[in-house]
Homo-oligomer: A and B are copies of this chain.
């Protein structure tokens, strides 16, 4: 026996991928589906959570469960020259930014390699694609590196405008390290991204350093796991190519 919700998830997935339920369509109520599969509602909801985590389903509290349209996919990439770095039409993607002063503490100290109490500026980027929240990013820049009262509005959702402004100010990034983890969202993140607390998020911790290894900026990105991916392109190192020759 065991894991009935997995079998139910398989059955429901088949109905979606086979086209029996088409994108945008509302599924029967959870109570009806539970009765149909002869299970209790918690068990059926467990099956729905699986599909929601796969991005096949969109749950709307008080409204219903809907088959997701397969297009909208969030792609974060390390390639600044890539055409999809700014992922979609600016008309559709709305980016809101706010700036506020902070002092380094806890994780930010090790992330930025500064001592406690160091003055920072925190930039919070929250982007929306239509009605749906899209990404959440927090960018931190030490005051002794630079200060911008307010970044450009409506640009990259990942804080690329900060990088551009740093470059314009003569502060050159020579290396970027991106640390990626998979985890459940904090309750705040789930709230702002309107996510189910059970669906995973892709968390990216990005630090930019100059030629001396000094940290210029750090960013914490949170992307919904059910519709996001991060793509990293690496060119072969010269040393490797020549080492074999």
- List A residues 2-21 near B (Cβ within 8 Å): 3, 6
A244–B163 alpha-carbon span in the complex (Å): 13
Q: Determine the chain B residues whose CB is within 8 A of the CB of A175 once the complex forms.
A: 233-236
| Complex interface bits, A145-184 against B, C-beta within 8 A gives 1, otherwise 0 | 0000000000000000000000100001111111111111
Q: What number of copies of this chain does the assembly contain?
A: 2
**With known contacts A6-B187, A225-B200, A244-B172, A237–B181 Cβ distance under 8 A:** no
Residue of B nearest to A7 (CB): B187
Residue of B nearest to A201 (CB): B182
> Min CB distance, A215 to chain B, in Å?
14
Residue of B nearest to A210 (CB): B236
A229–B178 alpha-carbon span in the complex (Å): 10
Q: Are A178 and B234 within 8 A (Cβ)?
A: yes
Q: Determine the chain B residues whose CB is within 8 A of the CB of A240 once the complex forms.
A: 80
Whether A129 is near chain B, meaning CB under 8 Å from some CB there, is: no
A238–B167 alpha-carbon span in the complex (Å): 14
- List A residues 195-245 near B (Cβ within 8 Å): 197-198, 200-203, 225, 228-237, 239-241, 244
The 5 closest A-B pairs by CB, nearest first: A182-B182, A200-B200, A182-B225, A182-B200, A182-B202
- List A residues 50-100 near B (Cβ within 8 Å): 50, 53-54, 78, 80-81
Q: Are B81 and A179 within 8 A (Cβ)?
A: no
